[in-house]
Structure 1
Amino acid sequence: MDKIILHVDMDAFFAAVEQRDNPKLRGEPVIVGGISERGVVSTCSYEARKYGIHSAMPIFIAQKLCPNGIYVLTRYSRYKEISLKIFEILREVTPLVEPLSIDEAYLDLSQSNFKDGMEAALFIKKRVYRELGLTISVGISYNKFLAKLGSDWNKPNGIMVINEDMIPDILLPLSISKIYGLGAKSVKKLNNMGIFYIRDLYELPKNFYFEYLGKWGMEIYDRIRGIDKREVIIEKDRKSYGKERTLKVDTEDKEELLICLKDFCIQISNDLIMRSLEGRTITVKYKSSVFESHTRSKTLNYYTNKVEEFYKVCEEIIEGEDFTTGIRLIGLTISSFKENTIEQLTLF
């Protein structure tokens, strides 16, 4: 392979961290997420997946499928703490790391001391397990699409190499839902036409892709032929980082709102630290029980990624508001970034 791309994906990350921190949970069906009626599943252990539970499923449905499951509240700050350590290991392998989420990334080995994908993958898996007690699955190929496909091939704790000489045969038997860029609506549309597998799609002429799949059709045409020209991007030019939450019960209690905002401050601070970014515009958003949206912003005269600095502004904003109705949604966004670089200071 001319280019070597790795896709790394932690196995049931949130649930795995809970099982790591509490050995009593190991081997048990662990479901992580909100435990209220409005809650949804963030992640579940592989033991829970046997019951048909999956991410984004409403908690009340998960409880019906697995009443004996162990339901755990999300501890995002803990997961981010572990994630930062994982990304430190990844950046020891190559500076070309593109984070996709807290537990998933692409790596390009073109600037790495590792010139063999398998050697790099085994190094990552060994370090993550030895230092953090967690397993990670790795896909190795010459482009992003195939690397991501490889990491999901034999989870958990899997590893898969997809070479050019395996294309297209290895792809043909797969469901079209495995094609990156093909959304649920497009999959359903194609299924209704009798197209269920990549083999069915592969045999169709080029003009079909454009007519039925729109502007992304030609990318789909290329991907199922092993072509994906996307580069690994170290950091996308993201304008803001934000979090928001719909509350279980509408409230006018400022302390309750500040508890949510404190959690957001921690999550966003960790995101920025991981990406060596600092921001200076803090925006609090809230939506009333009558669905009126409001935003309040403050721009500091300095850049920061510190939790306490963000939270101080949140306190000022919330304390200055006069809520006449209950609040059903609260959110926080940080923007106006600069890269956090260390300056060389003179002696004087």
Structure 2
Amino acid sequence: MKRKVIFHIDMNSFYASVEAAYDPSLRGKPLAVAGNEKERRGIVVTCSYEARAKGVKATMPVWQAKRLCPNLIIKQPDFTKYRSASLQMFDVLREYTPLVEPVSIDEGFMDMSHYEGDEPLQKATEIQNNLLEYLSLPCSIGIAPNKFLAKMASEMKKPLGITVLRRRDIAEKLWPLSLIEMYGIGEKTANKLNKLGLHTIGDLANADPTLLKKRLGIYGEKLIERANGIDTREVDPDSISDFKSVGNSVTLPKDTTDQEKIKTVFTNLAHEVGRRLRTKKVCSENIQITIRYHDRKTITRSRKLTSSIQTNDDILEAALFLWQKYWSGESIRLLGITAIDLVEETEAYKQLDLFSYKEDEKKLKLSKTVDEIRLKYGQHSLLKGGQLGEQRSEQLRDHKRRGTSLDKDFFK
């Protein structure tokens, strides 16, 4: 089988780098991209490495960042500018191979398997130099036999790094790293694994698969594979356009005009749409609802939002607004919520202040908690009896009587 050579291109401090590319006087200076002209209420979106050296971090309030770095330069986000730079960046990458998979506005994979011998390393240097020379944009590049290892490699040297991570290097370069440094593991998962006595990627690689599957389901098995450098995913140039919307609908057990039942259905639909948005790492700028009446007449109504949303509460709020505005009062047979006008998480930006930022953070944490419960106990675990229908409600009661674990059924 022909050996694989995969690149992961990761632009360094992308938004700040784009600002410096447009205004060369900003180069080499501590720079933060942050929202809200009233700086004491702004939140740092990203910052240059010069600012990071002073302790400035993303999501930090601007007043705190300025305290750490008094000469910090603040620029308002300009996504038109960032999208343009991103398109140019990917155009450069496609000069080397048609197999380019954008992952977000500032990173992507390349399948470079058609190059022989030392050519991939030479091409990586050439790509890095061209992006810097023609677009004034620095990047780090990971080179490996699969996407996971390439992603891990690109994180190992920043800025302007080129790192090769071969399978034979895994024990030496990857396994000593702490779990929180592994792509795909967040703080909560790392804490769960720590409680099992697993602290490094090497610990995870050599963990008992049966135990991990019991505690984390199929996700646990996948993590062990990744820790051992196993990843069979192909570089797919079309994957970023696989979805244009995320939606869910449900036919009700009985036609109804009961407003509490309708709100319950919308609540659970919002949870499911929100979970799928977070899984795909996208946000929505437009929410659409579908109402099918008892006579099968169907209407769809949408609402363009002032900011990108992803949390259950925000989706529900938009859906209920549309329902209350457009519902005729007739008996409803089916309801649906669809998130459209999707943008990647890294591109989505809300004009946050210190007050709304904290509130949004709480909403996102709550939404992720709901995701975890449904992942463990099944998609119906938080539905209320009226929406479940008699058959599914009886199944849940039967599980409870028998004392069986729902997650065992869900992960079969």
TM-score range, shorter chain: 0.5 to 0.7
SS in 2 for 1:9: strand
Give unpaired runs (5+ residues) of structure 2. 247-284, 286-300, 308-313, 323-338, 343-412
Counterpart Cα distance in 2 of 1:47 and 1:29: 5
Is 1:29 the counterpart of 2:23? The answer is: no
Q: 1:112: how far off?
A: 6.7
- What amino acid sits opposite 2:244 in the alignment? K
Partner of 2:272: none
- What amino acid sits opposite 1:107 in the alignment? M
Contact 1:286 1:293 in 2 (8 A): no
Normalized per residue, the structure richer in helix is: 2
Alignment of 1:99-114 (within 5 A): 99-110=102-113
Q: How many residues align?
A: 262
- What amino acid sits opposite 1:40 in the alignment? I
Judged with a 3 Å threshold, the aligned counterparts in structure 2 of structure 1 residues 21 and 196 are, in CA distance, closer, same or farther, namely same
Counterpart Cα distance in 1 of 2:163 and 2:213: 32
Tell me whether 145-154 or 121-130 shows the greater mean CA deviation. 121-130
Judged with a 3 Å threshold, the aligned counterparts in structure 2 of structure 1 residues 285 and 114 are, in CA distance, closer, same or farther, namely farther
Normalised to the residue count of structure 1, the TM-score between the two structures is 0.67
Superposition RMSD in Å = 3.1
Contact 2:145 2:166 in 1 (8 A): yes
Deviation sequence 1:260-315 (CA, Å, 0-9, x none): xxxxxxxx9xxxxxxxxxxxx9851369x9x9536999xxxxxxxxxxxxxxxxxx
Aligned residue among 60, 66, 69 for 2:69: 66
SS in 2 for 1:107: strand
Counterpart Cα distance in 1 of 2:317 and 2:53: 42
SS in 2 for 1:167: helix
Contact 1:93 1:113 in 2 (8 A): no
Partner of 1:264: none
Counterpart Cα distance in 2 of 1:58 and 1:84: 30
Contact 2:303 2:318 in 1 (8 A): no
SS in 2 for 1:204: coil
Tell me whether 47-56 or 128-137 shows the greater mean CA deviation. 47-56
Partner of 1:7: 8
Counterpart Cα distance in 1 of 2:44 and 2:153: 25
Contact 1:93 1:114 in 2 (8 A): no
Partner of 2:294: none
Normalised to the residue count of structure 2, the TM-score between the two structures is 0.57
SS in 2 for 1:227: coil
Q: 1:60: how far off?
A: 4.1
Identity of aligned residues (%): 39
Judged with a 3 Å threshold, the aligned counterparts in structure 2 of structure 1 residues 292 and 240 are, in CA distance, closer, same or farther, namely closer
Judged with a 3 Å threshold, the aligned counterparts in structure 2 of structure 1 residues 33 and 92 are, in CA distance, closer, same or farther, namely same
Alignment of 1:1-348 (within 5 A): 2-35=3-36, 36=38, 39-110=42-113, 116-236=119-239, 237-240=242-245, 283-285=303-305, 292-293=317-318, 333-334=340-341
Counterpart Cα distance in 1 of 2:205 and 2:7: 25
Contact 1:30 1:69 in 2 (8 A): yes
Give unpaired runs (5+ residues) of structure 1. 242-267, 269-280, 298-331, 336-348
Q: 1:138: how far off?
A: 0.5
SS in 1 for 2:66: helix
- What amino acid sits opposite 1:239 in the alignment? K
Counterpart Cα distance in 2 of 1:46 and 1:169: 28
Q: 1:20: how far off?
A: 2.4
Q: 1:239: how far off?
A: 1.9
Q: 1:164: how far off?
A: 2.0
SS in 1 for 2:152: helix
- What amino acid sits opposite 1:30 in the alignment? L
Deviation sequence 1:61-101 (CA, Å, 0-9, x none): 43343343111111111111111111111111111111111
- What amino acid sits opposite 2:8 in the alignment? H
SS in 1 for 2:222: helix
